[in-house]
Amino acid sequence: MKYRLITLFKAGYLLFFIVFLNGCASQIAVDDLSREWIARPLAELKQEMQRPDSYASKTGWKETTYSLADGNYVYVEPIGNNCLMLWEINSGGIIIGYQTKGSGCGLEASPVDDRLSRQKSRQDY
């Protein structure tokens, strides 16, 4: 009986560890993929979102944007259940920043920010 409890405890610990690592890997994957889009045209992202296997296509997402005070605007992309990617786009149509929003995005989902300045390597593209 004692051996069974120890084995059960180890199995529970292992399961917790695997779930924890999966959560970390998911956030890293979102950040890595997001960084790849910085300094690229929004038109390319829109083409990617129209692919039949994209989350936006599967859910029938309607294009959503809103303006920022500095003349840039935000393009909203759904990337998962209750998780949105907010892309900051400059006047030339180039992606210059991003932010995730929603409880389904993982631990690093940040609160709404009117500048979306998480990733900016240059001011003007």
pTM of structure: 0.64
Does 121 fall in a domain?
no
Does 56 fall in a domain?
yes
- Cβ-Cβ contacts under 8 Å for 80 (sequence gap 6 or more): 55, 102, 104, 105
Measured CA to CA, the distance from residue 34 to residue 32 in angstroms comes to: 5
Q: Which pLDDT band, with edges at 50, 70 and 90, does 7 fall under? A: low
Does 113 fall in a domain?
no
Structural domain for 11, as ranges: 2-105
Q: Which pLDDT band, with edges at 50, 70 and 90, does 92 fall under? A: very high
Structural domain count of the chain: 1
| Tally of residues, the chain | 125
Does 8 fall in a domain?
yes
Query: For residue 34, what pLDDT is reported?
Result: 86
